[in-house]
Structures are given as C-alpha cells and as structure tokens.
Amino acid sequence: MTPPDLERQLKLQPHRLRIALVALANFAILTVVLALYAWIGQASWTAVCQFGAASIGLSALFALVIARRWNLHVEDKDLMVAQFCVAMAVMLGGLLLLPQLWVLFLIGVIDIFIFGMMRFEPRQFIFAWLLVGVFTAAAMYAVRGKLGQMVVSDTSLAILLLYLFMVLGQLMVFGTGVMALRNRLSDRNRQLAESVDRVQQLAAHDDLTGALNRRAFMQLLADERARALRYGGLFAVVLLDIDHFKSVNDRFGHQAGDAVLKAFCQVANTGIRTTDRLGRLGGEEFIVLLISVAGADAARIAAERVREAIATHDWNLVVPGLSLTTSLGVALFEGSDTVETLIARADRALYAAKDSGRNRTVMA
C-alpha cells in the first residue's frame, strides 16, 4: 500500500471503529431485552446467555480487529460484508434458539438489512436481499411450530415496545447521519463548483489586468465568428496599443507600468458596452470584441469612445506626471474572414494609426 493510500485508510479507521461499536451496542441492547423476557419467564436464560455471548463476542472481535488495524491487510477493509453476514447469522441463530421471541429477531434482521443496504453496491445489495430472504424464510419454517404469541402480559408488551422504540431511535440516528452526510456532500459539491468556476476564471483571464487572456479571447472570437456565419449579424475587432508605453516603464519603472496596464483596462472597459469583451494579447497590446454592431460606422464610433476615455482620463491619479493615449485599428467582420485574417486586417489598421501620428482610430 502506497503512503497516500495508507494515510487515506488510516483516516477512515475511526469511522469503521464507530460502526463496529454501534453493532456491538445494538447486540448488547437486544441481549438486555432478551434477558428481560427471561426474567418474566418467557425465555430460557441459557439461550439468552448463548445468544449474548455469540453476538457480543463476535461484535467485539470485529471492533478489536479494526482497533488493531488488522483489517488493513485484507481487501474489504471496511469488513462490511463479513460484519453483515455474521450479524445476520447471529440474528437468525437467535431466532432458532428463542423462536417464541421471533418478532424481536425479525426486527433485528430488518434493522441490520437497512444499515447494510446503505453501504452495499447494487450487486451486493441484490445478493444480500436474496440471501437474507431465503435464510430468514428457512429459519422461520424450521421453527414454525414454536412461534408463539409474544404479548402474554402488560410487561411483555412493554418490553416489546421498549425494544421497538430503541430500534426506531437507532434508525433515527442513522437517518440523521445520512442527512448530515448528504448535506456535507451538497456543501462540498457547491464548494467544488465554486472552485471550478474560480479556476476557469483564473485560466481565462490575464493575471495582471483581469482582461481575457489570448487563449480565452481567441476562443471567444472563434465562437462569435461561427455564430455570425450561422445566424448572420456583424461584429468587429479593435486592436489597441498604448502609445509610447516603453517610455512609461523607462521613466517611472515597471511597477508603475503594471499599475498603468491595470488602470488602462479599467478605463477601456468603461468605454465599451457590457456585451463587448476586452482581452490582452500581450505587453501593452489589447483587443476588443464588439458584438452585434450595426456596421462600419458603428464600430468606429464604439472604438472612438474607448480612445476618448483613455485620452481624457486623469492619469495623474495613477502615476503623477503621466499622460496616456492609445492607437486603435478596427476591422469589421466579412464573411470570408477567418479569425487570423480578421485580426490581421485590424493589425494593419493599427499600424496605420501609429504611422499617422498615434492617438487615433483607423478603420480597416
């Protein structure tokens, strides 16, 4: 067993021991109830002692095996099948020993079966159902002439109701545990879903600016192209490049440059619609996807809003003494465009904006 597997199994040991101790307690309770029937003369003390010794002794043996970690050397480390079979055998043995108290043992069989079915695999459950049904029927048939009426006095009725009450209490505790487990699983599923969302967000966004990273933006752009080809409609891409950004790093340092990039994305986002998406291609180069634009003029106007937002922003709030502008190249999607050709047209327009003096928008 590898160290990680051993560590996981050791963490499960307290739970396994609790299950074994619960089984031990259940048989001890049943033995006490049988002793009460022996006390009022409805059962043999010898048979009660035999049942108690077998049931409590075997349950204690399972608890000892788990406490000493001997169960870790076998395939079924929970010992669930073994405990289930032994418990059923003991219960049906008690039925053969004390047939006049058959109701108690049938209740016990049902109690054990309910507990076991929550732990078995579907195939094991079907096998257990058939096995228990056949052997219970055989035991009942074997003592059919000795099955008497248990309730012969108010005392015997009180003992029967006491045992029934305790079994219902056990089932209530078991059901509460199942409910708590289900709630924990629900909480963990919710936490897992939130973690997956966070991971997806981190995987799709640039660490520094929070804008979509290149991979995520390219996938978004490919999806939008496929949608436009299938359903029609126009969209555009805008390439943005911060003018003379290298001088920002040279004059103010790279830490200030990082602050400028973050603020640039924040300001650019104020100039686009909530349906549009901003991405970072790398360095000081960004890209905007304008979804469902009316045409070239509308795309140019949308890009101009971003340019004006950058040009009019008070960059002194970010780095004292700083002013900042951006150049933009806009390309409207045409039916023959691939993602690469669309971006290439926008890139040519961006270079045209730089060559013509920067701080301007050029349409491809």
Burial class (CB in 10 A: 0-12, 13-18, 19+), 161: exposed
284 catalytically annotated: yes
Alpha-carbon Rg for the chain, nearest whole angstrom, is: 38
Token pair 């990082």 is at which residue?
Answer: 258
Return the exposure string of 206-222: e unless at least 16 CB atoms fall within 10 Å of the residue's CB, then b: beebebbbeebbbebbe
Q: What is the three-class DSSP state of 7?
A: helix
Q: Return the beta strands (E) in the chain as ranges.
A: 235-242, 277-282, 285-291, 326-332, 361-363
- The rounded distance, in Å, linking the Cα atoms of 282 and 279 is 9
The catalytic residue among 7, 284, 304, 340 is 284
- Adjacency order of strands within the sheet including 361-363: 277-282, 285-291, 235-242, 326-332, 361-363
Residue type, 48: V
Residues annotated as part of the active site = 284
